[in-house]
Structure 1
Amino acid sequence: MEIPRLSDGLILPMEKAACRNALVSVRLPNMFVLFLSEKPATNTYYETVKQESELWIARICAFSDRTRRTITNCDFSYFCSIVVPDASPLELQTICDWGNWVFPFDDMFDNGGLKDDPIQAQQLVNSLLNGMQDNGTVSDDNEEHPLVQVHNSVWRRLAKVSPVGVRRRFAKAMRDYCNGAIEQVHSCSRGEYPTLDEMLALRRQSAGVSPLFALVEYGHKLHIPDSVFETRSIKEIERIGIDLVLLQNDILSYCKEEKEGVTHNMVAICRRAGMPAQMAFDHIGGMLLSRYHDWYLALADLPSWGECIDSEVQQYIRGVQNVVKANLHWSFRSGRYFGKANEEVRKTGIVTVQPQSADVELSIL
């Protein structure tokens, strides 16, 4: 079978897929491996901050009861408590507020009212980015969209106490994230289907992972020289961390996004290119394995800057690692992807997806 326009490693061997009740059963790649096999540490203040953060954003945004329940069940505060296990309650709440903001904001571009409306999407993004100034100030936001007000508050708190380098890295990460989200909207509105490599490049921006790295600096009060972030090994560690999160996410979110008609998913791209379902999941799993290999090579290439800086750099690298670990463990705790089937999927590794032509052809071989 010819698989058009796919790259990023070899295509893994194809296995027969089991069809049952017009659905195709698929075994997920084993992702609880290497440093992801360890049980994550969580912040002591998680439970208290979770309640405060959810109440705060619900009040600012006037969320409906349904949206409040969605935010509570999503439980992104658990994710954040793994990312910064040693943060104080004040810093943890700021990070949880950003986390509880990013999902309703991101959903507007993924499957909400902005997914195919580039003009309105650009206006919202402009409003959000205008709220962040290099000098740490924030514009008057009384007339802004409630989600912009939430983000302005997060920026104000971060900018008040963070070194200029942290502010700039967070602001750049947010610009990249928003630009990626806008490009995704343009692609959707034009009915375009990117290749796997094109999607990977786009998702490195639009997945919203890199702002979390700057929030690690803020949450753990790190003071790392800007020059450190220009070294090849640190850039590679960040790139691999982002890839691991978005590859995990596209594997674990596929069933939910398939039902919602979301097309910017790398498993979906593989299936659209002609792969049977199991082969598509295995292919993305193979991409994960190559990133684990790259991770340890990047660590081995890390230079030394002296004891004091090295200590903070190691905390930062653990923070990147914690983001990857948080994403995986949170995905099987929150109800966002598998609902009440979390434990069953975690135990069996089996999910069901809608059949496509390649699965039907395979089932009759």
Structure 2
Amino acid sequence: MTAPTPTYSTTIPDSKPSEFMLPDLFSDCQYPLRLNPYCYPVSRASEQWLLNETSLAEPKITKFMGLHAGELTAACYPDADAFHLRVCSDFMNWSFSIDDWLDEFDVDGTFGIRDCCISAFRDPINFQTEKLAAKMCKSYFSRFMQTAGPGCTERFIRTMDLFFIAAAKQADDRAKGHTLDLESYITVRRDTIGCKPCFALIEYVAQIDLPDDVVSHPVIKAMEEATNDVITLSNDILSYNVEQSCGDGMHNMIAVLMEEQGLDLQSAVDYIGQLCKDNIQLFEDNRAILPSWGEEIDRQVAIYIDGLQNWIVGPLHWSFDSNRYFGMDGHAIKQNRIVKLLPKRPLQ
């Protein structure tokens, strides 16, 4: 994701906007959406797992059940068997929960959670902890370890560590009231989005373990980064309304562009929409120059690239099916693309 100077108008209107129009993201992303046949039984079982582990109470139960993280998982891993899909679904439900929990943690608290969770990943059977987040890691990662290859496992743990480090940076910026410049924001956001461990799960569900020289190849890395950037950019657009309403809008590229470049809201949204389109094209440009590593490795790489493609299209559709960003209005907004700004919530 490059950050060129936007060429849109930088005129700030006198009156604050009451709505904005989403870019036509679906015209730019025409990959097929597939849903795993085990979606609904696995999703419901995974939701029950999280409710049992966390002892949530209302209204958090209703909010969690509206998330539909299992449906996102089923769209991103459409060919997984029920066992592997369940592990991924448990991870996804945990991941959304930890993302929300970390919003309340300071730097030390974030690193404390990081240390426990990484220890749980390293030895999910023998590591002992009373921290809820790490106990949940032990639950799903002990099952992950039953079939995962060593390379896939190491990639998952390493990228989870990057997530926690970036979350600590975000907590520090939040505490100090720092506003990041565009380049710094992009760097940190690529890890706070939390999608890189999900790419390791592509290998896990397919029961492949790509060689290090393959996953470190510049073309593969470029396709991973383009995928991650499409997810991040579109998420910043789709989550902006909720975030600006609850006063957490500065960890969002729309707010960064408006602050740093002086763009109005619609211009910032359109600019990010163009970046989404550019990154999908970058993904395709690199697909066209994939090298060959021999028949068997090429077969595995094709599975992995298909998995990245699923991760481009799956979250986009899920964002309108989930209640997380648009409440009950997701399907209508998906059609008309008009997002009416929510009022600012009073600070607690």
The two structures have a TM-score, normalised by structure 1, of 0.88
CA distance in 1, matches of 2:221, 2:138: 28
For the aligned residue pairs, the C-alpha RMSD in angstroms reads 2.1
| 1:316 corresponding residue in structure 2 | 304
Match of 1:32 in 2: 26
DSSP-derived class of the 2:339 partner: strand
Q: Displacement of 1:138 after TM fit?
A: 4.0
| Contact 1:17 1:26 survives alignment (8 Å) | no
Distance (Å, rounded) in 2 between the aligned partners of 1:39 and 1:237: 18
List aligned pairs for 1:1-365, cutoff 5 A: 8-14=3-9, 23-34=17-28, 36-110=29-103, 113-114=104-105, 117-133=106-122, 137-141=124-128, 143-262=129-248, 263-273=250-260, 274-353=262-341
Gaps of 5+ in 1: 1-6, 356-365
2:346: which partner in 1?
A: none
Query: Residues 289 and 9 of structure 1: is their aligned pair in 2 closer, same or farther, counting only changes over 3 Å?
Result: farther
CA–CA separation in structure 2 for the residues paired with 1:18 and 1:215: 45
**Is the contact made by 1:251 and 1:267 (CA closer than 8 Å) also made in structure 2?**
yes
Give secondary structure in 2 for the equivalent of 1:351. strand
SS at match of 1:74: coil
Q: CA deviation at 1:235?
A: 0.6
The secondary structure found in structure 1 opposite 2:266 is helix
Question: What's the secondary structure of 2:276's corresponding residue?
Answer: helix
Alpha-carbon distance between aligned partners in 2 of 1:348 and 1:15, rounded to the nearest angstrom: 26
**Structure 2 CA distance for partners of 1:37 and 1:287, relative to 1, 3 Å:** same
Checking the alignment, whether the CA contact within 8 Å between 1:15 and 1:278 is kept in structure 2 is: no
SS of residue matched to 2:26: coil
Q: Distance in 2 between matches of 1:10 and 1:186?
A: 27
8 A contact 1:24–1:277 mirrored in 2: no
Q: Deviations over 1:230-262 (max 9, x none)?
A: 110001111111101000100000000001111
Quick one: distance in 2 between partners of 1:17 and 1:351? Answer: 19
TM-score by length of 2: 0.92
Q: Quote the offset at 1:38 in angstroms.
A: 4.2
1:180–1:206 contact (8 Å) kept in structure 2: yes
Instruction: Note if contact 1:18-1:24 (Cα within 8 Å) is conserved in structure 2.
Output: no
Segments of structure 2 that go 5 or more residues without pairing to the other structure are 344-348
Report deviation, 1:137.
4.7
Q: Which amino acid is the alignment partner of residue 209 of structure 1?
A: C
Letter in 2 for 1:236: A
CA distance in 2, matches of 1:287, 1:127: 36
Pairwise CA distance, 1:17: 9.2
CA shift, 1:42, in A, is 0.5
Q: Work out whether residues 69 and 92 of structure 2, in 8 Å CA contact, stay in contact via their aligned partners in 1.
A: yes
What is the alpha-carbon distance in structure 2 between the residues aligned to residue 148 and residue 307 of structure 1?
40
| 7-16 or 255-264, larger mean C-alpha shift | 7-16
**Partner SS for 2:203:** helix
Deviates more, 1:66-75 or 1:91-100: 66-75
Paired letter, 2:136: V
Q: 1:25-78: CA deviations, max 9, x gaps?
A: 2111111134x3244110001010011101111111112143222222100111
Counterpart-to-counterpart distance in 2, 1:221 and 1:77: 20
DSSP 3-state at the match of 1:86: coil
Q: 1:304 to 1:144 in 2, by over 3 A?
A: same
Give the distance between the partners of 1:124 and 1:305, measured in 2 at CA: 39
